Amino acid sequence: MRPGALVGWWAVLTAVLLGLLSGFRGFPAAAAREAAVADHAFRFLLLLATPVFALVVAVLTYSVVARRGKGDPPEPPPYVPEHPWVARAWFAATAALAAYVIYNPGLVGLAEMRGVPVSAVWTGASSGVRLASLAGADGDLVVRVRASRWLWQFEYPDQQVTSRELVLPVGRRVRFEVTSVDIVHSFWVPAFRTKIDAVPNLTTFLHVTPTRTGSFEQTVDLRVQCAELCGVGHAIMAAPVRVVEPEAFDAWVAQQGRR
Amino acid sequence: MRALVPVLKGLGYGVAGYVLGGPALGAVVRAAGLGFSFDLELVTGSLVGTVGWLAGVGVWEVWARGWFGLPLRPWPDEEGVARYFRFTTDHKVIGIQYLVTFLGLLFLGGALAMLMRWELMRPGMQLLTMNGFNQVMSLHGIIMIAVAVAIFLGGLGNYCVPLMIGAHDMAFPRVNALSYWLTPPVAVLLLASLLVGGWDSGWTAYPPLSEVNAPGQVLMIVAVVIFGLSSILGGINFLVTIARMRAPGLTWSRLPIFVWSVFAASLLSFVFTQYLAASLLMVLLDRVAGMSYFHFARGGTPVVYQQLFWFYSHPAVYIMILPAFGAALEVITHFARTPLYAYRWVVGAFLGIVGLSAIVWAHHNFTSGMPDWMHAPMMATTEAISVPTGLVFLAALGTLVRGRLWLRTPMLFALGWVWNFLIGGITGIFNADVATDLHLHDTYFVVGHFHYTIMGGEIFALLAALYYWYPKITGRMYDEGLGRLHFWWTFLAFNATFLPMFWVGVHGMNRRIADYPAALGDLNWWISLAAFALGASFLVFLYNFVVSWVRGPRAEANPWQASTLEWQVPSPPPVENFPAPPVVVGVPYGYGIPGARHAAFGAAGGSEEA
């Protein structure tokens, strides 16, 4: 066996795959701060996974090409005792890599997603389920999302508006307060890259800061899609999303109020 | 035809039990002026029916009569085709019963997948209604879960483990038979659910949906609870068998790696299955007894179900994959003609996976509204599982790179397993990472991931193992050319089907939907075509196995010149397994080690070397 050939093959494969991935633009439309965080984490995980993937594929292909035996069955190769440090080194390297991935993008990405310091993700001092007394304390705009079979309804309590279309002003941190009146649904906007279940008898929270204007008519990624199986109408339980300039949002509110 | 008498009797007693325990009991209770819902009728009916089935297939005559002080009927003799159709204790017969039953269910589940892919080929609704799609999807899910849980342990575990450890049977042969004969009612109840409206909540059966849908849900719950009982009994049996019935000299450090993997999976099956039953029984009590665990109108807390459910159902994926790890490594070491690399590390990895699997469940719940502090620890434990899994890869790669590879069909499938599980494992990190999972959760990215691990990982390892042990089990040799055709066809079609699913998942296609945005139409058309090719590839497998079993050339005792015990007896092995009791004297995979041997056979007067 020539370890040099194997290492070279691994290096070439890694380089080729990294080259292919460097041009990776395979994400749907991104329209929120959270989407940038998720896409960054996704891309970073792809980069970290590349040498691992390439190592296994390199050994696999090398073995099939260079270690193929002759005969039915092939004569066993002379036994060479295992070097104890190989497994130890493998264990240490994979443990170190796992520890790093847990830290970054794991904890770092979770903290960025929630908009809190890394230390806060252990204590739960970010969003998710929170005491109702804290409701409205963070976020520039509150939207109450009410899911039912198979409809979405969006209530803007401060604006006293209720709508079947989700209209959001760009650049403001939106606090969604999500609940369901019947069974479990899930509030998901693909262009925001985040979701939270709508659960009966419970209010769940999700924070999103839209960063780009756009509408469902421009991209289907700007839709609220139910992501938890909820029966007959699950597939078509969707609502259009529109992210607009703040002035346009105010105009929309005023128009809704008149109706 | 006489061979079918016990099964027909079981069916008759089963139907009679259903009628007496269900509709008749319901009518009597209602006549007495008390309430008895249709849901409850289904529960009592299917439980009494299952007891009737068991009595009919032979439990009454050879076992249960004794509980009432009645003389037992003699066991029918253990030869001939008839033994496959009645309650019998030979682990080899039970292994074949499991394999044939669950391969049949695998084909049924695959056919349901074809229906789904036909519907998803184009945006809009063509073949099914939305409700029909949800039912087909749910049935596909639960059938494949049952196959994945039972086919390795119940099928190959039963057939091979006693042979590999030099035992004459399992520790509790009648309990073993009971484990198997509990499974046909599971299949019947799941299919019968379609007669009472089916159910549309997927295999996960999340309430409150599973409390307000059609009565078919009740049959699904009863079926899964019965299946769980079968799993627990099987788990206990393997643990005791492996702990207590190893041949003299077969120490834990000489145990073939497949046996180790069955031991680890059985631990999980024994410890965790009850949580699935508990969670489903709570749903059932909400439905039939007016309890308020999860029901929205009675102040229930549905997220609790998701915690309880996944406390079993995540370990369950390791019940599926651990025996696959063991079988793939078993095939790799025999066909690389060299000892298994890092054997002790792999054993440690299996036990590490058993331990870690208990503390990762809530990674299924990152978007469920559970308390936020749980996200970070569950992500950390989940990603830590990549370390023991990495050791399984070390063993596979270390063995391959030091070996002289014999590229027969079992080895091809084992190599395919390495590739598929590599992709399944890497994409698992994206699901474990909260920042990426909030988007990917419940999308086709997850569908791609778990099909890469369970179909690409477990089923590919299963096929490797089936081709490997086929000559031992049937006494015939399969056709090598067709085997290779099957491998390449399945491998390419599998990757062509499931690789694009990661893409459509990222691009906003959520799972369990009958329809999707038109923009994803082209890729779905491709996925459907590839899926049909994948389905068709299994016909090659079916043809090869059926025809070779009838007409294939007789297999030698040890066509692979493999070192482990099951190959040192004739193919197929005699009823008593080992005419001369084996004594284990060395490591299981001594290829290339001068003077190494695994076992000797000591008859009363002398010994014959293996």
Percent residues over pLDDT 70 in chain B: 98
Are the CB atoms for B598 and B584 separated by under 8 Å?
yes
Average pLDDT for residues A164-176, to the nearest whole number? 95
Residue B97 sits in the same domain as residue B43: no
Write the pLDDT tens digit of every residue in B431-440: 999 999 999 9
Q: What is the mean pLDDT of residues B309-331?
A: 96
Q: Are residues A47 and A111 in the same domain?
A: yes
| pLDDT number for residue B8 | 95
B415 touches A60 (CB < 8 A): yes
Ordered alpha helix ranges (H), B341-408: 343-357, 375-384, 386-402
Residue A186 sits in a domain whose CATH number is 2.60.40.420
As a whole-number percent, the residues of chain B with pLDDT over 90 amount to 92
- Residues B98 and B58 placed together within one structural domain of the fold: no
Question: Does a structural domain hold residue B591?
Answer: no
CB contact under 8 A, B405 and A64: yes
Q: What is the pLDDT of residues B82-131, one digit of tens each?
A: 889 999 999 999 999 999 999 999 999 999 999 999 999 999 999 999 99
**How do strand A214-215 and strand A238-244 relate by DSSP bridges?**
antiparallel
Which pLDDT value is given to residue A3? Answer: 72
Q: Distance between CA atoms of B352 and B385, rounded to whole angstroms? A: 8
Q: Does residue B562 belong to any structural domain of this protein? A: no
| Whether A13 and A98 share a structural domain | yes
| Pair (A179, A94) in one structural domain | no
Residues B256 and B212 in one domain: yes
Judgement on whether residues B297 and B159 belong to the same structural domain of the protein: yes
Does residue B352 lie within any of the structural domains? Answer: yes
Provide ipTM, 2 decimals.
0.95
Q: Which of A110-119, B197-206, B227-236, B552-561 has the lowest mean pLDDT?
A: A110-119
Long-range Cβ contacts of A34-37 (<8 Å, 24+ apart): A34/A113, A34/A192, A34/A193, A34/A194, A34/A207, A34/A208, A34/A209, A34/B438, A35/A191, A35/A192, A35/A193, A35/A194, A35/A211, A35/B439, A36/A211, A37/A109, A37/A112, A37/A113, A37/A193, A37/B435
> For A95, which of B131, B208, B387 is closest by C-beta distance?
B387
Residue range of the domain that includes B225: 92-551
List B residues 400-419 in contact with A (Cβ-Cβ < 8 A): 400-407, 415, 418-419
Tell me how close the Cα of A258 comes to any Cα of chain B, in angstroms.
34
Tally the domains of chain B: 2
According to the model, what pLDDT value does residue B82 have? 87
Element (H, E) at A64: helix A33-66
Q: Over range B401-413, report the average pLDDT.
A: 97
For residue A210, pLDDT over 70 is answered with: yes
Q: Note whether residue B572 is domain-resident.
A: no
Q: What pLDDT was estimated at residue B330? A: 98
In whole angstroms, give the CA distance from residue A121 to residue A130.
14
What confidence tens digit (pLDDT) does each residue in B143-191 have? 999 999 999 999 999 999 999 999 999 999 999 999 999 999 999 999 9
CB B548 within 8 A of CB B478: yes
CA distances in angstroms from B360 to B183, B311, B379, B385, listed in the order given: 29, 8, 8, 9
For the cut 80, the answer to whether the pLDDT of residue B240 exceeds it is yes
Do the Cβ atoms of B323 and B262 come closer than 8 Å?
A: yes
Residue B604 lies in a domain: no
Residue A49 banded pLDDT, cuts 50, 70, 90: very high
pLDDT of residue A131: 37
> Which residues, listed in sequence order, are joined to residue A68 by a DSSP beta bridge?
B405
Q: Is the pLDDT of residue B605 over 50?
A: no
* Residues A116 and A136 reside in one and the same domain: no
In a domain, A178, yes or no: yes
Q: Looking at the structure, tell me whether residues B24 and B118 fall in a common domain.
A: no
Q: Which of B409, B534, B562 is nearest to A76 (CA)?
A: B562
Q: How many CB atoms lie within 10 A of CB B300?
A: 21
pTM of the predicted protein model:
0.95
Structural domain count, chain A: 2
A245/A138 same-domain check:
yes
Interface check B513 vs A, CB under 8 A: yes
In a domain, B416, yes or no: yes
Alpha helices, DSSP H only, in B245-256?
Answer: none
Using CB atoms, pick whichever of B303, B403, B436 lies closest to residue A41: B436
Contacts for A79-82 with beta carbons within 8 Å, 24 or more apart? A79/B338, A79/B339, A79/B591, A79/B592, A79/B593, A79/B594, A80/B402, A82/B341, A82/B342, A82/B398
Domain that holds residue A248: 132-258
Strands annotated E in A181-219: 185-189, 194-198, 204-208, 214-215
B582: three-class secondary structure by DSSP = strand
CATH number of the domain to which B297 belongs: 1.20.210.10
Decide if A76 and B338 are in contact by the 8 Å CB cutoff.
Answer: yes
Is residue A84 domain-resident? no
pLDDT one-digit tens code per residue, A115-159: 888 888 776 554 444 433 333 456 789 999 999 999 999 999 999
Q: Evaluate if residue A98 carries a pLDDT over 60.
A: yes
To probe the interface with A, which of B304, B417, B510 has the most A CB atoms within 10 Å? B510
Q: Could you tell me the pLDDT band of residue B371, with boundaries at 50, 70 and 90?
A: confident
In this structure, the strands spanning A174-180 and A141-148 are parallel
Q: Is residue A101 domain-shared with residue A189, that is, in the same domain?
A: no
Cα B228 to chain centroid, rounded: 12
In terms of domains, do B331 and B385 share one?
Answer: yes
Q: CB count, 10 Å around CB of B561?
A: 14
Q: Which of B344, B438, B487 to mutate against chain A (most A CBs within 10 Å)?
A: B438
Any domain includes A81 = no
B33 & B109 share domain: no
Mean pLDDT in chain B? 95
Q: What is the pLDDT of residue A25?
A: 79
**Same domain flag for B32 and B112:** no
Region A204-215: mean pLDDT is 95
**Cβ atoms of B470 and B478 closer than 8 Å:** yes
Predicted confidence (pLDDT) per residue in B526-540, tens digit: 999 999 999 999 999
What is the b/e burial string over B188-214, where b = at least 16 CB atoms within 10 angstroms of the residue's CB? Answer: bbbbbbeebebbbbbbbbbbbbbbbbb
Q: Do A77 and B337 touch (CB under 8 A)?
A: yes
A234 to B201: CB separation less than 8 angstroms, yes or no: no
Q: What is the dihedral of CA B554, B557, B559, B563, to 10 degrees?
A: 170
Q: Which helix (H) or strand (E) holds B255?
A: none
Classify the C-alpha dihedral B394-B397-B401-B405 as positive or negative: positive
Burial of A96 (0-12, 13-18, 19+ CB in 10 A): exposed
Mean pLDDT value across residues B62-80: 86
Do A179 and A203 reside in the same domain of the chain? yes
Determine the pLDDT at residue A124. 56
Residue A100 inside a domain? The answer is yes
Is A222 found in the same domain as A151? yes
Dihedral sign of CA atoms A74, A77, A82, A83 in order:
negative
Do B36 and B185 reside in the same domain of the chain?
A: no
Residue A176 lies in a domain: yes
pLDDT digits (tens, 9 = 90+) for B494-509: 999 999 999 999 999 9
Q: In sequence order, what E strands does B156-238 have? A: none
